[in-house]
């Protein structure tokens, strides 16, 4: 891409071709999606139980159940949707999600949990719809790094919005829908920006392989050829998903465990550092033109993330300020979590030249991740309801840090032999 094509020129279409346009559109759109998904987790729901299980665990598990079902459906729906239908799918999905939050406020317990299931169903596919506008281009890592880093910051900001609404006496049941309304107008603006993103050029297709809608035969062929590596990556993504879920959904409890209570801005403050760092690391991979080199650097980044978790659990718990401890765990979790969907799958398809798209592979690992996290919530809720998740979080990062390093090494060895 030459200098003239990169110049922002509001008098013509060049502005839509500039990488910054795609980055802002993707970041802003998915940032707003979190306003319809995460604010309810800002509530503590103190001393609220249903059938002996903490009410907050039930709420989180209910939404995750919808999200998990969405990911399994997305393996087929997202990978098979055409470019032209993505915008309408995004808008319909967010409308259903907001109406479900209104239902959550209207309907009494315990029936209100059904509306969080409904809320999770459409939201789980939006990431894949947005990603479809970005993949298969020379700047894809930069675009998807912006998309992926958005929900790191959005997670913290949405909790800050939820906490602010609670602090001005909005109830825990109506807070989620009001938070969604706050995000609605900016969301529509960023969706409009998405519609202006150009399709991959012929040069993009030559460098990164064409990304068509996949058929059932395409999916089977890809899995059949690379299943050992995809299995290893799925496990690495699962571990990161489990830790990310606990760190995100039980953030108020973790901060309370560390001695911080009632500071609405603390969630956003830590995630700003994580967001910027992850965006720089993953976005810089676009500078590496050779797909093989970029792929193995990405695998090294995954291993580095698990090393950070090990350091945080072994050394950071006793020596770091709580603020920087949470930042370090964020780096450790999001490096593998986002590098897999930002670069690993992108470069894998570019190397193998399979008739495939990132959406298919991403929804395989994402569905496994959400299934694992939901099982964790159900296990701790039904079998060990008094389990102290914030305390165990710092034990789990050590265990999964070690296992993650081992699997990272095995998967890198497999791909080194398979992709030569």
| pLDDT tens column, 29-74 | 999 999 999 999 888 787 777 877 788 888 988 998 898 899 888 8
Domain assignment present for residue 197? The answer is yes
Residue the block writes with tokens 């710092």? 394
Distance CA 324, CA 273 (A): 10
> What integer pLDDT is reported at residue 326 of this predicted model?
94
- Please, which residues bridge with residue 49 across strands? 54
CATH number of the domain within which 238 lies: 1.20.1250.20
Domain assignment present for residue 279? The answer is yes
Question: Three-class SS of residue 110?
Answer: coil
Tokens representing residue 314 in the block:
């072994």
| Boundaries of domain holding 351 | 19-418
Domain assignment present for residue 310? The answer is yes
Domain assignment present for residue 111? The answer is yes
The total number of structural domains that make up the chain: 1
Query: Can you list the alpha helix ranges (DSSP code H) found in 107-201?
Result: 113-131, 140-167, 175-195
> What integer pLDDT is reported at residue 98 of this predicted model?
97
Domain assignment present for residue 5? The answer is no
Q: Are 212 and 357 in contact (CB under 8 A)?
A: yes
Q: Angle CA(388)–CA(390)–CA(394) in degrees, nearest 5? A: 115
> What integer pLDDT is reported at residue 152 of this predicted model?
81
Collect the ranges in the chain with pLDDT lower than 70: 1-13, 261-264, 381-386
Distance CA 372, CA 6 (A): 42
Domain assignment present for residue 128? The answer is yes
Question: Three-class SS of residue 387?
Answer: coil
Domain assignment present for residue 408? The answer is yes
> What integer pLDDT is reported at residue 359 of this predicted model?
82
Can you state the angle between helices 322-339 and 291-311, rounded to 10 degrees? 150
> What integer pLDDT is reported at residue 340 of this predicted model?
94
Domain assignment present for residue 336? The answer is yes
């Amino acid at each position: 891409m030459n200098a003239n094509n990169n110049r922002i020129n509001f008098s013509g279409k060049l502005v839509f071709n500039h990488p910054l346009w795609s980055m802002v559109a993707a970041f802003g759109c998915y940032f707003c999606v979190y306003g319809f998904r995460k604010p309810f987790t800002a509530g503590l729901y103190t001393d609220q139980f249903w059938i002996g299980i903490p009410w907050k665990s039930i709420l989180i598990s209910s939404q995750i159940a919808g999200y998990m079902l969405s990911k399994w459906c997305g393996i087929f729906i997202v990978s098979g949707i055409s470019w032209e239908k993505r915008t309408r799918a995004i808008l319909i999905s967010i409308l259903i999600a907001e109406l479900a939050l209104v239902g959550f406020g209207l309907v009494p317990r315990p029936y209100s949990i059904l509306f969080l299931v409904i809320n999770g169903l459409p939201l789980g596919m939006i990431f894949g719809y947005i990603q479809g506008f970005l993949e298969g281009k020379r700047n894809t890592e930069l675009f998807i790094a912006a998309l992926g880093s958005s929900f790191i910051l959005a997670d913290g900001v949405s909790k800050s919005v939820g906490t602010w609404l609670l602090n001005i006496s909005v109830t825990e049941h109506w807070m989620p829908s009001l938070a969604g309304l706050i995000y609605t107008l900016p969301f529509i603006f960023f969706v409009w920006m998405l519609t202006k993103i150009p399709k991959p050029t012929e040069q993009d297709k030559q460098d990164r392989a064409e990304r068509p809608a996949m058929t059932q035969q395409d999916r089977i062929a890809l899995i059949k050829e690379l299943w050992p590596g995809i299995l290893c990556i799925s496990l690495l993504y699962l571990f990161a998903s489990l830790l990310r879920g606990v760190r995100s959904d039980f953030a108020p409890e973790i901060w309370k465990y560390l001695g911080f209570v009632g500071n609405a801005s603390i969630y956003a403050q830590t995630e700003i550092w994580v967001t910027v760092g992850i965006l720089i690391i993953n976005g810089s991979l676009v500078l590496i033109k050779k797909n093989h080199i970029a792929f193995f650097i990405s695998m090294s980044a995954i291993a580095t993330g698990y090393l950070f978790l090990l350091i945080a659990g072994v050394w950071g718990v006793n020596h770091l300020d709580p603020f920087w401890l949470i930042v370090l765990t964020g780096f450790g979790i999001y490096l593998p979590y986002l590098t897999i969907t930002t670069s690993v799958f992108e470069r894998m398809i570019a190397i193998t030249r399979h008739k495939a798209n990132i959406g298919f592979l991403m929804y395989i690992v994402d569905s496994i991740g959400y299934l694992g996290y939901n099982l964790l919530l159900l296990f701790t809720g039904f079998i060990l309801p008094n389990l102290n998740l914030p305390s165990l979080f710092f034990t789990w990062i050590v265990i999964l840090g070690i296992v993650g390093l081992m699997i990272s090494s095995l998967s890198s060895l497999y791909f080194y032999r398979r992709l030569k």
